[in-house]
Amino acid sequence: MDLLTVSMTLTGILVILLGGTIWIGVSLFLAGLAGLMIFTGLPATTIMANIAWNNTSSSTMLALPLFIFMGEILFRSKISDNLFKGMAPWMDGIPGRLLHVNIFACALFAAVSGSSAATTATVGKITLPEFEKRNYDKKLSLGSLAGSGTLGFLIPPSMMMLVYGIMADVSIGKLFLAGVIPGILIALVFSGYVIIRCIANPGLAPESASSYTWGDRVRGIPLLAPVIILVAVVLGSIYAGWATPTEAAAVGVVGALFFAALGRSLTWGVLTDALMGSVKTSCMIMWIVCGAAFLSVAVGYLGIPRKLTEAIAQAGMSPYTLIVILSIMYLVMGCLLDGFSMIVMSLPISLPLIRMAGFDPVWYGIYLVIMIQLAQITPPVGFNLFVINGLTGDDLGKIALAAMPFFIILLVITALLTVFPGIVLYLPGLMVQ
């Protein structure tokens, strides 16, 4: 069976289906079905049924809708509003002032939501009106939000890490640990960039008429407590070995409901909206994952990963050259596809190559998530750009241009993590010991 013929046929089918605006999940199923029926005599429909069942019945996959539900509750309750009120007094004394709330509020909310779009929308709906009222620089306000919102995928718990871990058969706990240091590093570098810009031009973040006192800062701590406690309980229970990611997600849901009720923002409307939002998002992700898993099996039966790996090995390509090629591929994919599709469509081919090149699958999971972060602020299908456009009505091109410095920072940090993979693997290494 000729590798080029099979690859071009499957790629052509996918391009036609996706170009015809067929749902991504359906396109993946149909491409896998066509590949098996055209090039093999295997019972394609039986394989499809088994794959769909196996990928939706595991206890690990149950963590996905639970983490989504937890994020939906926080997104729709007063907890997210209190996040800004609690952080604002602490950020006011730093060059850049409240712009840092964009960055660190996104980092904190990311640690309980697992979603980039939810993080961007939650923080943006609170901060952007405040920035406009206080005459902060519009470009820096939009750019810092777009860039920082992507942390929703990197700082654990992360929906992308869950999907990658399930598909690549990598420990979810190790992936969550691996995302902590890179997530903090990116937030600090973003903040450093804002500080440098605002020292060079103080007019980007003008002083407000009223200043915050230490009393205001102390009173802001209880407003941050629900999010900090949830982060500590959810992630701490996983890392301490007291709970699996699925059990920790369930605890997180109970905690989010408790704090929403304590803040008197848990109404029937909030609960039903959160449930419906969770069902829709979970179904969308599950459908894509099942379709991708079926396509992965079809690609495996056709021998594409094995033959491609052999071809790369014979070419004598260096590991860093492989990463550069994969990075270019993901940047192109990020212009056209969402993050989940990027993972599930590329993994059957890229993961064997990564293993062959000697890279750790845990490190590759973090690298892949950062590539997806870049896709979130890349037009024309950058979801964070759409979220901010919905909040402000600003042109997508203007928002993308504002996010460009943060895009470049993410690229530089990706290179740093590639050259020094120990930054990613340090905490997971402690977990092994």
pLDDT of residue 330: 86
Q: What is the pLDDT of residue 381?
A: 62
pLDDT, mean of residues 235-255: 82
Cβ 273 vs Cβ 69: under 8 Å = no
Structure tokens at 104: 């660190």
Amino acid (1-letter code) at residue 431 = M
The pLDDT assigned to 417 comes to: 95
CB-CB contact of 175 with 156 (8 Å): yes
- The predicted model gives 105-131 an average pLDDT of 79
Task: Band the pLDDT of 380: cuts 50, 70, 90.
Answer: low
**Contact by Cβ (8 Å): 31, 11:** no
Query: What pLDDT score does 208 carry?
Result: 67
Residue 352: band (very low, low, confident or very high) from pLDDT cuts 50, 70, 90: confident
Q: What mean pLDDT is predicted for residues 234-243?
A: 78
pLDDT at 54 over 60: yes
* Residue 205 φ then ψ, to 5°: -135, 80
- Percentage of the chain beyond pLDDT 90 is 18
State which H helix or E strand residue 327 sits in.
helix 319-334
Range 385-395 burial, b when 16+ CB lie within 10 A, else e:
bbbbbebbebe
Helix, strand, coil content of the chain in percent (nearest 5): 80, 0, 20
pLDDT tier, 26 (very low <50, low <70, confident <90, very high otherwise): confident
Q: What one-character DSSP code corresponds to residue 20? A: T
Taking CA atoms, 166 is separated from 157, 253, 354, 365, in Å, by 14, 21, 17, 11
Give pLDDT tens digits for 276-311.
Answer: 988 887 787 777 777 777 877 787 777 766 676 666
The DSSP element (H or E) to which 35 belongs, if any, is helix 24-39
pLDDT, mean over the chain: 82
* Cα four-point dihedral sign 374, 377, 379, 384: positive
Q: Distance between CA 247 and CA 238 in Å, rounded?
A: 9
Question: For residue 61, what are its two tokens?
Answer: 């996959």
75-79, 105-109, 265-269, 365-369, range with the lowest pLDDT: 75-79
Q: Given this model, what pLDDT does residue 129 score?
A: 83
Label residue 191 by pLDDT band (50, 70, 90): very high
| 404 compared with 208, residue with greater pLDDT | 404
Q: Distance (Å, rounded) from C-alpha 295 to C-alpha 14?
A: 11
- 370 versus 347: the higher-pLDDT residue is 370
Average pLDDT of 74-83? 77
Q: Are 322 and 349 in contact (CB under 8 A)?
A: no
Predicted confidence band of residue 149 (pLDDT cuts 50, 70, 90):
confident
pLDDT digits (tens, 9 = 90+) for 330-348: 887 777 666 777 787 788 7
Q: Residue 201 corresponds to which amino acid?
A: N
The pLDDT-based confidence of 194 (bands split at 50, 70, 90) is very high
Most distant CA pair in the chain, distance: 75
Q: Could you tell me the pLDDT band of residue 425, with boundaries at 50, 70 and 90?
A: very high
- For the record, the structure tokens of 340 come out as 């989940």
Q: pTM for the complete prediction?
A: 0.78
Least confident of 104-118, 127-141, 254-268, 367-381: 104-118
Which residue ranges make up each domain of the chain? Answer: 3-205+213-432
- For residues 400 and 406, the answer to whether their CB atoms sit within 8 Å is no
Check residues 329 and 184 and name the one with the higher pLDDT.
184
Helix orientation angle between 339-357 and 304-315, rounded to the nearest 10 degrees = 50
Confidence band for 52, pLDDT divided at 50, 70 and 90: confident
Residues 6+ apart with CB under 8 A from 267: none
Question: When comparing pLDDT for 296 and 252, which is higher?
Answer: 252
Q: What pLDDT, on the 0 to 100 scale, is given for residue 16?
A: 85
Residue 90 pLDDT grade (very low, low, confident, very high; cuts 50, 70, 90): confident
User: What pLDDT, on the 0 to 100 scale, is given for residue 131?
Assistant: 86
Residue 408 pLDDT class (50, 70, 90 cuts): very high
Give residues with Cβ within 8 angstroms of 420, minimum separation 6.
none
Residue 419 has pLDDT above 90, yes or no: yes
